[in-house]
Amino acid sequence: MPTDLFMKESKNPYIPFGDRQDSPFYGKDILSVKQFTRQDLEYIFGVAHEMREMVQRVGSFDLLKGKILANLFYEPSTRTSSSFTSAMERLGGSLIPINEVHYSSVAKGESLPDTVRTLECYADVIVLRHPEVGASADAAKYARKPIINAGDGIGEHPTQALLDLFTIYEELGEVDGLTVTMLGDLKYGRTVHSLARLLSLYKVEINYVSPEILKIPSEIIDEVDSKGIPQAEFTSLEPVMPMTDVLYVTRVQKERFEKLSDYELVKSAFTITLETLTIAKERMIIMHPLPRVGEISMEVDNDPRAAYFRQMEYGLYVRMALLAMVLGKS
């Protein structure tokens, strides 16, 4: 674990947390993966790793006791909202859950800045999910309290990208030197774009495997290329599976295809089964942002390389870390 940097700061490993208003993230917003340097990521993952150890040792602890998180979701996302809820509660904090914004008077005609400026009277930090690109950045412009972007339309979902990368760290011990293969809908998949961006801060090789019509956008290719990362595109998984350390699977949506027969073809070619794994490394991991709808056969779940449920758990630790950091507690 490349957390030496962080560990050095923490003299006593058993009391690693406390008031750290000198933390580089204290009072900051978490809006985009573009805001992070490699050093930032190592700091975050160092804290997230300590969160993991604390949760495994004691379940919960009172680092954020008395703090309140407003979970402001303009579109439903039970998975993300539950993850932040758990993160806050395992740190002893409380929640203002606002999951049904579209029914509520908050939504009726009120501008997002006004809603945010109202909520920050009640909460210490706001997690925002919104269907419009740039909503979080807009909210952050007006808010005095930290805003964490939990997805703004086809824009960003930075905490998802962070948990994806943290999963690789924790499962494989390092990121440098790995071959990462992304599979499925690489055109519309927000998570894939953000992960590729973060990975470009490391020395990795990236393979993109997708049907022709769902290829990774050239702007991502160009951006990653500018960092000197080797990339290659494929329409079939077979050739790259043997050298893959991380297989990142995403869902291919039926709606993307004009002809149902094209979809069916792609669907069966892109489904991960135990047979797919016969040519895979012994030590590699399969990831998926979930929910899956058939892209990975349930028979794979018990294989130790199936990391997608552990991935959910790593998400908890990353979000605990982010909450603690922006509130000046780590």
* Chain residues in the site for a second copy (CB under 8 A): 58-61, 65-68, 70, 76-79, 82-83, 85-86, 89-90, 92, 94-101, 103-106, 108-110, 113-115, 117-119, 121-124, 290-293, 298, 309, 312-313, 315-316
Count CB atoms within 10 A of the CB of residue 108: 9
Residues 6+ apart with CB under 8 A from 278: none
113 vs 119: CA distance, rounded Å: 10
DSSP E strands in 68-159: the ranges are: 68-73, 94-98, 125-130, 147-152
User: How far, in Å, CA of 130 to CA of 150, rounded?
Assistant: 8
Q: Which is nearer to a second copy, 96 or 279 (CB)?
A: 96
The minimum distance between CB 83 and a second copy, in angstroms, equals 6
At 168, which helix (H) or strand (E)? Answer: helix 158-172
Minimum distance from residue 147 beta carbon to a second copy (Å): 16
Query: Smaller CB distance to a second copy: residue 34 or 79?
Result: 79
The answer to whether the CB of 162 falls within 8 A of the CB of 195 is no
Minimum Å gap between C-beta 107 and a second copy is: 8
Output 70 or 286, the one with its CB closest to a second copy: 70
Write the DSSP string, 46-64.
Answer: HHHHHHHHHHHHHS---TT
Both tokens of 209, joined, read 């495997």
Q: Which is nearer to a second copy, 223 or 313 (CB)?
A: 313
Instruction: Find the angle CA(17)-CA(22)-CA(23) to the nearest 5 degrees.
Output: 60
Q: Give the nearest distance from C-beta 308 to a second copy in angstroms.
A: 9
For residue 66 the two structure tokens come to: 């008395």
Cβ nearer to a second copy, comparing 202 with 308: 308
Nearer to a second copy, 14 or 103 (CB): 103
Q: Please, what is the minimum distance in Å from the beta carbon of residue 21 to a second copy?
A: 14
Q: Which of 92, 27, 97, 96 is nearest to 66 (CA)?
A: 92
Spatial separation of the C-alpha atoms in residues 262 and 258, rounded to whole Å: 8
Task: Calculate the alpha carbon distances from 302 to 100, 273, 314 in Å.
Answer: 36, 12, 18
The residue among 221 and 290 lying less far from a second copy, judged by its C-beta, is 290
Q: Taking the complex as a whole, how short is the minimal distance between the CB of residue 93 and a second copy, in angstroms?
A: 9
Q: Give me the least distance between CB of 64 and a second copy, in Å please.
A: 10
Nearer to a second copy, 197 or 251 (CB): 251
Q: How far is the CB of 225 from a second copy (least distance, A)?
A: 33
315: which 2 tokens?
A: 């998400």
Least CB distance to a second copy at residue 82 (A): 5
* Spatial separation of the C-alpha atoms in residues 187 and 4, rounded to whole Å: 37
Residue closer to a second copy by CB (options 105, 218) is 105
Q: How far apart are CA 315 and CA 308, in angstroms?
A: 11
C-alpha angle with apex 130: 129 to 131, nearest 5 degrees? 135
